[in-house]
Structure 1
Amino acid sequence: MLVLLAFIIIFHITSAALLFIATIDNAWWVGEGFFADVWKVCVTVNDTNCTVIDDQFSYYSTMQAVQATMILSTILCCIAFLIFLLQLFRLKQGERFVLTSIIQLMSCLSVMIAASIYTDRRQDIHNQNPAAYLYTSEGTFGYSFILAWVAFAFTFISGLMYLILRKRK
């Protein structure tokens, strides 16, 4: 049981790290001479010029939704870990980890919503902005975007593991 708990703790910490990297790092959409994330767009022609995505951009509300759900997912994952540690020693068998599982699955849902919105709306962005050349089809989804989907899978598996683990001694 101790090895299983150690594995779950490492798995959960890995999930949280993936969420932090996907939320913070700037490689959601990359191409030759530019990279973008949910916070800013950077052009790297001669040097790196970054423009923060704010209310000047017509797709700002879409990006706010992605930002908010990624932040919510990261916070929920961290809260689930703290609750896991508290429940580990406080609750009796059968009652353990249900709340942790629910919160972790909510984190999973949040990151899925964020990545889905970004996937869907990324195609519409290039038609709505003077900096549209940055979002042409010549770019590709970057590693932060992929990490967000991997974090979705990890948080989902972690949430299910907590449900299964609640009956173990």
Structure 2
Amino acid sequence: MLVLLAFIIIFHITSAALLFVATIDNAWWVGEEFFVDVWRVCVNNTNCTELDDTMQEFSTVQAVQATMILSTILCCIAFLIFVLQLFRLKQGERFVLTSIIQLMSCLCVMVAASIYTDRRKDIHDGNPQLYASTLDGSYGYSFILAWVAFAFTFISGLMYLILRKRK
């Protein structure tokens, strides 16, 4: 049982780390000489421009930013609640609250990555002078980490739902 508990804790911490990296790092859309994330656009690694309300599609960017931040916060809260429930729950009870919060984190990261997938071109068209050079690129590792974090948080949420406190 101790090995299973250690695996679940490591899995949850890995999910949180993936969410942090995907939210913070500048590699959602990459090309030869630019990096784009949900916070800024960097051309030639020196000319960085913050994504702000001067863009036409700023509400889309804000939705991605908000849901990624919310997902990360919910994942951390789920871990804290898991630790509390680990010592407070009676034997045989399930970690339902932890599971619900972790599945909400999963939903948030899925919404963020889905919005970015669907509206990426619109986000880049918001400021044609800046984004003309960023149209030829591909999804970066932060975007891929967001989808991997989605899978990890989903599996983690299901594990908590199934897990019963045993000795």
Identity of aligned residues (%): 83
Per-residue displacement from partner, 1:63-99 (whole Å, max 9, x unpaired)? 0000000000000000000000000010113433100
RMSD (Å), alpha carbons = 1.3
Q: Work out whether residues 42 and 50 of structure 1, in 8 Å CA contact, stay in contact via their aligned partners in 2.
A: yes
Matches within 5 A, 1:67-106: 67-106=65-104
1:18-48, CA deviations, whole angstroms, 9 ceiling, x for partnerless residues?
Answer: 000000000000012111000000001xx51
**Which is further off, 127-136 or 90-99?**
127-136
- Deviations along 1:103-125, one digit per CA (max 9) or x if unpaired, are 00000000000000000000223
Residue 57 of structure 1: CA displacement?
1.0
Structure 1 SS opposite 2:20: helix
| Distance 1:61-1:134 versus aligned 2 partners, 3 A rule | farther
How far off is 1:167 after superposition? 5.9
Secondary structure, counterpart of 1:112 in structure 2: helix
Amino acid of the structure 2 residue aligned with 1:19: L
Q: How many matched pairs?
A: 166
Amino acid in the other structure paired with 1:39 = W
**AA partner of residue 78 (structure 2):** A
SS of the residue 2:22 aligns to: helix
2-structure distance, mates of 1:55, 1:134: 21
Extract structure 1 runs of 4+ deviating beyond 6 A: none
Alpha-carbon distance between aligned partners in 1 of 2:82 and 2:63, rounded to the nearest angstrom: 28
Contact 1:125–1:135 (CA under 8 A) maintained in structure 2: no
Identify unmatched segments of 5+ residues in structure 2.
Answer: none
CA distance in 2 between partners of 1:145 and 1:82 (Å): 26
How far the C-alpha of 1:158 sits from its partner, in A, is: 0.2
